[in-house]
Amino acid sequence: MLRQPQKQIANREKNISRIKEAAEYVFAEHGYSGASFSLIAKQAKLPKSNIIYYFTNKETLYRAVVEDIFDIWRSAADSIKKDNDPSTAIAEYIDTKLEMARNRPFGSKVWANEVIQGAPIVQDYMEDELHRWTNDRMVVIQHWIDSGKLRATSARHLLYLIWAGTQHYADFQHQIETLNDNHPLTDEQWQETKYFLKDIILRGICVE
Amino acid sequence: MLRQPQKQIANREKNISRIKEAAEYVFAEHGYSGASFSLIAKQAKLPKSNIIYYFTNKETLYRAVVEDIFDIWRSAADSIKKDNDPSTAIAEYIDTKLEMARNRPFGSKVWANEVIQGAPIVQDYMEDELHRWTNDRMVVIQHWIDSGKLRATSARHLLYLIWAGTQHYADFQHQIETLNDNHPLTDEQWQETKYFLKDIILRGICVE
DNA sequence: GGTTTAACTGATTAAGTAGTCAGAAAACAT
DNA sequence: ATGTTTTCTGACTACTTAATCAGTTAAACC
């Protein structure tokens, strides 16, 4: 049995993902300015210097976190494809996005925070990646509309409504829990949420 | 003609609202931690010490800003009353909220920021005022449903969807403008937004 | 006009911040 | 084993921050 000669590499990967996870949480809870290296270090249970060793500075760490988020977020829209059935595809998209809101709320919060503040760090990302990605999806939706599979509405605003409606449950999680008498949503309540959003949105866009 | 003996009072009010306006902007653009007295002072064109003179500390100023926002936000729902026609009332609510998103985006952003970070400063406000306010509106909507004027859907999630769908245009303003080729929305585009949201949501909740 | 009171402000302080760096420790190579 | 490279870290620095406060200016009162 060969000894693995890469103890370093394995350790490096472990540490990096551990730091990113901690950073995602701290950036979400405190915003960019409020997130200090010492808070992130405490969360990751690693010395502050070690974090700087891996990521050089705060902005680099932040960008790494945001890029991870964006990749996941992007892959959630895999179902929005020309040849898929619109209702099924959009229902699937809503389901997936709500599951992400439930399971990975911190990423969503970091993104929201960044955009609210005018994307000072990831403006280039928005102009390139997000812009292209959004246009691609809009083309698909417009195709569905043009071929009579969807009611004639705005593809752009439909996307925005799906984003807003789903991400709300991540970004405003705290508000929702407060209004739910300080309890997290139960499985049943998440089911209800999924059902509600699909019900309203699909009813709004399907040809009658 | 009597001389006004209240030069001081007038000046005080002027300064306070000037400071709050500047603070709302800076808190929205930089978050709670990122908003420093010196930034707010620069924005308000007043010395830093003067701001502290009026508001004692950062948290007090912040709370003043949030309370102002909340009051305005609350009054937008005046139309949600038992005796009003549901479709008209909800259409009016959506219109009003979208106008607020357009004209007062900073307040919305401050609120969003605060909630995303778990409402560290205004938790009590959420538990008292917002909770009561939301329950009141939900009772009205439930009444409409029970009396057959609306389809049987979730009053709670309907409110959330309206909030999410409208506030998105304030909170994510920067993203929306970036996706709009770096142009602010035109009058026409705002019209289109209003139309879209009312179209989808009303279609989703009206009895067929 | 002179006194009291409120409004205001520049200088200062104590605490926290991002980032540097010299050197220790571990992993790897031979 | 020895040397080399990479990983790691505590101590430090230069800077920013919220908040204090002593002292100044302006308004209100009589």
Q: What is the pLDDT of residue A5?
A: 59
Q: What is the pLDDT of residue A4?
A: 52
If one counts the domains in chain B, the total is 2
CATH assignment at residue A171: 1.10.357.10
B21 and B90 share a domain? no
DSSP SS3 for B122: coil
Looking at the DSSP bridge assignments, the partners of residue B150 are B206
Residues B144 and B81 sit within 8 Å (Cβ to Cβ): no
Residues B16 and B54 sit within 8 Å (Cβ to Cβ): yes
* Rounded average pLDDT per 10-residue block, chain B, 208 residues: 62 93 98 98 97 97 96 91 96 97 97 97 92 97 97 97 98 98 98 98 91
Q: What is the pLDDT of residue A95?
A: 97
Distance of alpha carbon B122 from alpha carbon A25, whole angstroms: 21
B76 and B20 share a domain? no
Q: What is the pLDDT of residue A47?
A: 97
* Per-residue model confidence as pLDDT tens for chain A (208 residues): 334 557 888 889 999 999 999 999 999 999 999 999 999 999 999 999 999 999 999 999 999 999 999 999 889 998 999 999 999 999 999 999 999 999 999 999 999 999 999 999 999 989 999 999 999 999 999 999 999 999 999 999 999 999 999 999 999 999 999 999 999 999 999 999 999 999 999 999 998 7
Which nucleotide lies at the shortest CA–C1' distance from B5? Answer: D28
A29 and A84 share a domain? no
Distances in whole angstroms, Cα of residue A159 to Cα of each of A138, A180, B16: 8, 27, 40
In a domain? residue B187: yes
For D21, nearest residue by CA–C1' is B49
* Nearby residues of B25 by Cβ (< 8 Å), 6 or more positions away: B43, B106
Domain of B16 in residue numbering reads as 7-56
Work out if B16's Cβ lies within 7 angstroms of strand C. no
Look-up: residue for tokens 């990521």? A55
**Chain B contacts of A109, Cβ < 8 Å?**
116-117
Residue from A179, A185, A188 to probe the interface with B (highest B Cβ count within 10 Å): A179
Task: Please indicate whether, in this complex, the C-beta atoms of B178 and A130 are within 8 angstroms of each other.
Answer: yes
Nearest to B117 among A30, A123, A179 (CB): A30
* Nearby residues of A15 by Cβ (< 8 Å), 6 or more positions away: A46, A50, A54
Looking at the DSSP bridge assignments, the partners of residue B206 are B150
Q: What is the pLDDT of residue A54?
A: 98
Task: Please indicate whether, in this complex, the C-beta atoms of A116 and B205 are within 8 angstroms of each other.
Answer: no
Which residues 6 to 25 of A reach strand D, CB within 7 A?
A: 8, 11-12, 15
Residues A116 and B109 sit within 8 Å (Cβ to Cβ): yes
In a domain? residue B61: no
- Counting Cβ atoms within 10 Å, is residue A52 exposed (0-12), middle (13-18) or buried (19+)? middle
A82 and A138 share a domain? yes
- Tell me whether A161 touches chain B (CB under 8 Å): yes
Looking at the DSSP bridge assignments, the partners of residue A150 are A206
Work out if B59's Cβ lies within 7 angstroms of strand D. yes
Side-chain-side CA neighbours of residue A13 (13 Å): 4
In a domain? residue A63: no
- Tell me whether B161 touches chain A (CB under 8 Å): yes
Residues A136 and A187 sit within 8 Å (Cβ to Cβ): no
Quickly list H helices, chain A. Answer: 7-34, 37-44, 48-55, 58-75, 86-103, 105-116, 123-125, 131-146, 155-171, 173-179, 187-205
CATH assignment at residue A42: 1.10.10.60
* Nearby residues of A183 by Cβ (< 8 Å), 6 or more positions away: A177
Angle at B5 between CA B1 and CA B8, to 5 degrees: 140
For C10, nearest residue by CA–C1' is B49
